[in-house]
Structure 1
């Protein structure tokens, strides 16, 4: 099976949103609104087109999507730019085939190439550490809402990028609407 990862384009949006909706349909820890969140992020200042990627099967079918969007880590008057990884989605019939991992690796490399230094994710604590994510609390970074410590994670794309960073993540407006 050949999977190609490429930047999402506007004509992909309806298909991508269906992929996202299907991917989260049976997820217990989901509000089942991820596809709507992606649509809102695309219309916001937090959207970075180069970090909205799709996984395309050899028959040209879109089977996965990942989005990294702009966030800040705020401590009093200081704010540091970062990225939120949310969501990563794979069509159910293509799950557990490494496509999500391909999307994550590609997106993280693309973010690093664009000069971003860190990424924050709220996700499965057994999954994201294999990509280098650690508890955000390790870096004195907190979520803006109550979440299990082990599920709120950070990744340095640049070594020591978070050494001097502390504060609370401020998500873009679409996350709080």
Structure 2
């Protein structure tokens, strides 16, 4: 059965938290989503849920982030800043994983980003999974994440 993909509503919040907690096996991502919703940069149209028979089985969130560019000398005036979108988190209930739900959330989410005028999306995630959706290694563009991940 194909899920319905749509923007979240406030009544979805408990289900979204549950999906994230169960998918990741701990509450970090569920807590992150709640905090990002309270941030003034939160874009409600970029927090999507996948539902089957009224049950939320998946969730994806895209959130604006700033990328600094330029050689700079460590001083803020040495860099240019660009706002782009980050994908995180993506979660699917364990019993619904490996059925294409995450892929549908990514594709529909990327399309929603395009419609809102975002031309770039970054993700800190599995290097075997995300390239099938067009993602490439960030180092190709000289982008480094602030957490030191590969």
- Using the size of structure 2 for normalisation, the TM-score is 0.91
Q: CA RMSD in A?
A: 1.0
Aligned residues: 142
Equivalent in 60, 71, 74 of residue 66 of structure 1: 60
Any idea what SS the aligned residue of 1:64 has?
strand
Cα deviation per residue 1:81-132 (whole Å; 9 max; x = unaligned)? 1011000000001000000000000000010011001001000000000001
CA distance in 1, matches of 2:123, 2:4: 24
Q: What does residue range 80-99 of structure 1 map to in structure 2 within 5 Å?
A: 80-99=82-101
Question: 2:32 is matched with which residue?
Answer: 37
Q: What 5-or-longer segments of structure 2 have no aligned partner?
A: 70-77
Q: Does structure 2 retain, via aligned residues, the 8 Å contact 1:53–1:66?
A: yes
Question: 1:119 is matched with which residue?
Answer: 121
How far is 1:142 from its partner?
1.0
Greater share of strand residues, 1 or 2? Answer: 1
2:131 paired with 1:129? yes
CA distance in 2, matches of 1:99, 1:18: 16
Q: What 5-or-longer segments of structure 1 have no aligned partner?
A: 26-30, 149-177
Greater share of helix residues, 1 or 2? Answer: 2
Equivalent in 21, 44, 50 of residue 45 of structure 2: 50
Question: 1:20 is matched with which residue?
Answer: 20
The structure 1 segments of at least 4 consecutive aligned residues displaced by more than 3 Å after TM superposition are none
Cα deviation per residue 1:118-172 (whole Å; 9 max; x = unaligned)? 0010000000000010110101111112111xxxxxxxxxxxxxxxxxxxxxxxx
Question: 1:2 is matched with which residue?
Answer: 2
